[in-house]
Structure 1
């Protein structure tokens, strides 16, 4: 980070009662003195951004370094599960809170199937309702990150179990998700069917509705994220080793998935993430 630049990220786990739905909270603040463009590869979760600084652009990336598919100014939004890279672009000065929802979290918290958000960026009030504005105001006025995280705990706990779908999370979908997540996407659909006792057709249709993507597509993303964790390592293994460890046929298979899901090569992705301000944790 160059002289005059500053960044800080603070994280905390959600309340224990929320952890099946919410992966965690992160408070961020940065002042780079220059515009920032960030590639956001798919991760198998829904990302909620509650921005407390200036609005920024959110959109989808086509293959290449910075080509833009669509872009819109946003402040507080939910980005659904997706199988292509998104991006954010801002002036280089931001402050806000990010939380990641598991695919099981949307039915439990909002009473909607996760598929309702797939591949979309939705304003927070469209999912959270008229209370979204008050929540953003309380977060902006809070004196510390810990207080902001406590406000989120309280707001989400109040919603837990009040969704319109009393079956959420569906036991079959929950079991299949746990297996996929626990194996980092290496479980096959046949193995999921054997574990849950349901047919491929029924499992795929129900999982797609409630988790946002078919199980095979979700497995692909989770396998990619496992590879990305290794690519992000301070001393990453060779790409051929990453491919082997994460269940790819070979390095060429890994390269194809990175191109499809991130819109660039592994080398470009690694270089961008090394420069990413998310590496500055204070």
Structure 2
């Protein structure tokens, strides 16, 4: 990491574990003022900025400041961010289907959107330089909401997600059952089952391409389930907007910290 840069992941308490994969903190006192490309990862997130928020590039190419607190729904295309000052934040990485009850409406309504949570999280403050305290603030926020709103999971959706994460085939379904699953995914996850599988396969490329036994991009793609280099290249364009070589050359800071983390689930959550 660069001097002063910090990324840490924290295990959620057992009561939140069925819904939350991890709570992570990040700080970069002097980030490089360059564009950082964030790929879809299959997990929605709730983010609270403690220092300067990032700027996000819109469809018109213009960079605009993100809100101090936001909910990032499922992504199906790349996200371009750039820092404008010192960065420090705490974020909740939900399970793919874990944020529905926090959100309060169909997850599909947040897909490829960053929803402003500033008013909803008014009064929620976290102290700079205190990762443990920042995590505690988010845990308290979620625990209070969970108790008051009785969070739940759809066992059919969760089973399909677990099969996708294990790279196992879906059970045979009739056309009517498949349409019903699509509707349930729209509500609980925000993307169709097939799209989630594509995102998870792309994520597995980074698991194989980084670490002590890192493979080259093509070998990592083959291990992740791609048939050949053109298929992998298409997904780099689709999910990151660049080639693998361009991404590896240019990405620093938060983008690289996130990509270096494994998105494989921990112990199976209760249904």
With structure 1 as the length reference, what TM-score do the two structures score?
0.80
Q: Is the 8 A contact 2:106 2:186 kept in 1?
A: no
| C-alpha spacing 1:83/1:180, structure 2 compared with 1 (3 Å) | same
Residue 208 of structure 1 deviates from its aligned partner by 2.4
Pick the aligned partner of 2:137 from 151, 164, 167.
151
| SS of corresponding position for 1:54 | coil
Q: What RMSD in Å do the two structures reach over aligned CA positions?
A: 2.8
Gapped regions of structure 1 (runs ≥ 5)? 62-67
The yes-or-no answer on 1:255 pairing with 2:233 is yes
Structure 1, residues 101-159: CA drift from partner, whole Å, max 9, x if none? 12322223233221121111111146xx3xx0111x2x137x72112212211211111
| C-alpha spacing 1:213/1:70, structure 2 compared with 1 (3 Å) | farther
Paired residue total:
257
Residue 212 of structure 1 deviates from its aligned partner by 0.4
Between structures 1 and 2, the one with greater strand share? 1
- 1:91-106 correspondence to structure 2 within 5 Å: 91-106=84-99
Residue 229 of structure 1 deviates from its aligned partner by 2.0
| SS of corresponding position for 2:239 | helix
Mapped to 2, the partners of 1:112 and 1:28 lie a distance apart of 28
Gapped regions of structure 2 (runs ≥ 5)? 261-271
| C-alpha spacing 1:147/1:218, structure 2 compared with 1 (3 Å) | same
Residue 180 of structure 1 deviates from its aligned partner by 1.3
Mapped to 2, the partners of 1:235 and 1:55 lie a distance apart of 35
Mapped to 1, the partners of 2:190 and 2:57 lie a distance apart of 19
Structure 1, residues 209-229: CA drift from partner, whole Å, max 9, x if none? 321000001100000000122
Any runs of at least 4 consecutive aligned residues in structure 1 with deviations exceeding 6 A, and if so which?
none
- 1:93-242 correspondence to structure 2 within 5 Å: 93-125=86-118, 129=120, 132-135=121-124, 137=125, 139-140=126-127, 144-160=130-146, 162-163=148-149, 168-183=152-167, 187-188=168-169, 191-194=170-173, 199-233=177-211, 236-242=214-220
| C-alpha spacing 1:171/1:198, structure 2 compared with 1 (3 Å) | farther
With structure 2 as the length reference, what TM-score do the two structures score?
0.83
Between structures 1 and 2, the one with greater helix share? 1
| C-alpha spacing 1:154/1:243, structure 2 compared with 1 (3 Å) | same
